Amino acid sequence: MVSKQLDKAVAWGVPAAREPRWPASLAVGAAVALTVTLPNPLVFGRWVLLVVEAVLVVPITIAFPFRHQDEPTAVRWLALVCVAVAEVANLISLGLLVQHILNGGSATGRQLVVAAIQIYVTNVLRFGLWFWELDRGGPGQRMQANHRHPDFLFPQMVTPEAAPDNWTPSFVDYLYVSSTNASAFSPTDTMPLSVAAKLLMLVEATAAVLTVAIVAARAINILK
């Protein structure tokens, strides 16, 4: 029984023909909005981030509204650049938040708490995008019958009888994985299998711990 389940886990369902890009693009837009609206001391390269994301995300979403196995390689790399640029900006904002609290900056407690929430939510959105782009080589590669071995083990892959025969993970599934990892600081129902997946989850959980710890410390006036 276990062997059969693992066999199905290696090649889930019937590959979908395509997956809409708009949920991921919406997540990118929300993450950028959260980052650029941070207080001035906590954001780096506000206008650069806006321009880069607008120049790349909007045209890609309009010109290539679906992810499919025949998508151009250049388009996938541009999508990865969008995620990488915004993720670097978010991690810089987290570093600036830590520095600001340690150095007793001018921002009020309310501003710092709101900023920490923005950084935390952005962290969840960004790593949801990373997981979506990483697993089995990305959305396009996952739609091929000969896709590579999985980077994440979803419950539906271990208990296939609990899911439709043609089940495949969508962006929302990876966003959920990101959310649970950020809140529990560890994997919950979906396990990372590859080194890349484990490292990404490690970075996300570490950033989430720092953000939550900073908020708690500021709230009880430990750091001044």
| pLDDT tens digit sequence for 110-137 | 777 788 888 899 999 999 999 998 898 8
pLDDT band for position 96 (cuts 50, 70, 90): confident
221: Cβ–Cβ under 8 A, 6 or more apart, which residues? Answer: none
* Predicted local confidence at residue 114, as pLDDT: 82
**Domain assignment present for 224:** no
**Domain assignment present for 8:** no
**Domain assignment present for 112:** yes
Please check the confidence at residue 5 and state whether its pLDDT lies above 90: no
Q: What's the pTM? A: 0.80
**Domain assignment present for 215:** yes
Q: Find the range with the poorest average confidence among 47-51, 62-66, 173-177, 192-196.
A: 47-51
Which segments of the chain does DSSP mark as H helices, in order? 2-10, 22-36, 46-63, 73-102, 109-134, 139-142, 155-158, 171-184, 195-219
The number of domains in the chain is 1
* Predicted local confidence at residue 201, as pLDDT: 94
**Domain assignment present for 12:** no
Cα(14)–Cα(168) distance, integer angstroms: 8
**Domain assignment present for 6:** no
**Domain assignment present for 50:** yes
**Domain assignment present for 11:** no
Please check the confidence at residue 181 and state whether its pLDDT lies above 90: yes
Range of the domain at 212: 17-219
Q: Are 93 and 42 in contact (CB under 8 A)?
A: yes
